[in-house]
Amino acid sequence: MLPWHKAAWNRVARAEQLPHALLITGPPGIGKRPFAERLARRLVCEQGTACDACRACRLAASGHHPDVLTLRVPEGKAEIPVDEARAVNEFLTLKPHLASRRVVLIVDADCLNRSASNALLKTLEEPPPESYLLLVSDAPARLLPTIRSRCQNLVLPRPAQGEGLSYLKAHQVPDPELVLALAHGAPLRALTWPKDAPALAQRLLASLEAVAVGRGSALEATEAWHAVDLEVGLSFLTEVASVLTQLMVTGTIARGWHGTQEGRLRALAAKLDLTQVLGVWDEALSARGLAAAPLDRRLVWDRLFMHVEPRG
């Protein structure tokens, strides 16, 4: 178990009775899904503990337990369609095969489309006996309010700085302080990044500096960035924009940014105004999740860097 989940796990494990519908939320990259998977194992475990040793736990861990159904966005699609939700309803009305209950885990529950959400409502309203629904979401505000109101909410926290750092060190992530800062304190997010993430972050700062002081144009910076994984690049840029905003508004800097990086960020903040930084931030947020063809990637980067070009 991830160490920062312990308190929440103990709360759930102590509960007499789990709610029939639990909505597990919290920032991306903190391990909501492994937490939910463990909870699903606990519900079907022969010992009732998620022992990880019994047949039920092993079947569930391999995704083959007949009483556990996992729903996620199908490959190549952007949402969970209605027929998947109908399959959930049907699954929960059947008698369990091995365990004494049936469990459905819905990953990225905010991707349920409207008809799928509506199809689930009845089951959430009157859950069949011994049925459990675990919904996982980074963005619970995007769920239908009627879905949210029928679930009990469990918010998982970000790890404390020390826990996050130990986790990254245990996974041999280089420059863990900088990486954790870039990942906004969510260590699991950083594990999906390329090994050269710290170097990429330094390069991004260098590009922003060059454009901001007029040493290079947005177009030149784009040349250096269009080939970088857009999701990773935008993630870094969003974080840098948020640190710059914090610096401009409060004069303080987020944890994790220190030493030479802090000096560079302070110098950069002095070169830019808030409108420019918020422009980058907005642009980066709206560009995330774009299915980016190479040409679009160039446009995205070009627009981003144009925000920091000197005015006038």
Binding residues (CB under 5 A) for Zn ion: these are 45, 47, 51, 54, 57
Other CB atoms within 10 A of residue 122 CB: 10
C-alpha torsion angle, residues 185, 190, 191, 197 (rounded to 10): -140
Q: How many angstroms separate the CA atoms of 192 and 201, rounded?
A: 15
Q: Quick one: 12 or 306, whose CB is closer to Zn ion? A: 12
Q: Quick one: 41 or 184, whose CB is closer to Zn ion? A: 41
Residue 221 CB, nearest approach to Zn ion (Å)? 53
Residue 42 CB, nearest approach to Zn ion (Å)? 8
> For 52-64, b where at least 16 C-beta lie within 10 A, e where not — what string?
eebebbebbbeee
Residue 58 CB, nearest approach to Zn ion (Å)? 8
Those residues whose C-beta lies under 8 Å from the C-beta of residue 33, and which sit 6 or more positions away, are: 107, 136
Q: Quick one: 57 or 178, whose CB is closer to Zn ion? A: 57
Residue 173 CB, nearest approach to Zn ion (Å)? 31
Residue 22 CB, nearest approach to Zn ion (Å)? 19
Q: How many angstroms separate the CA atoms of 225 and 255, rounded?
A: 26
Q: Quick one: 27 or 96, whose CB is closer to Zn ion? A: 96
Contact 71, 106 (CB under 8 A): yes
Other CB atoms within 10 A of residue 293 CB: 9
Q: Quick one: 52 or 125, whose CB is closer to Zn ion? A: 52
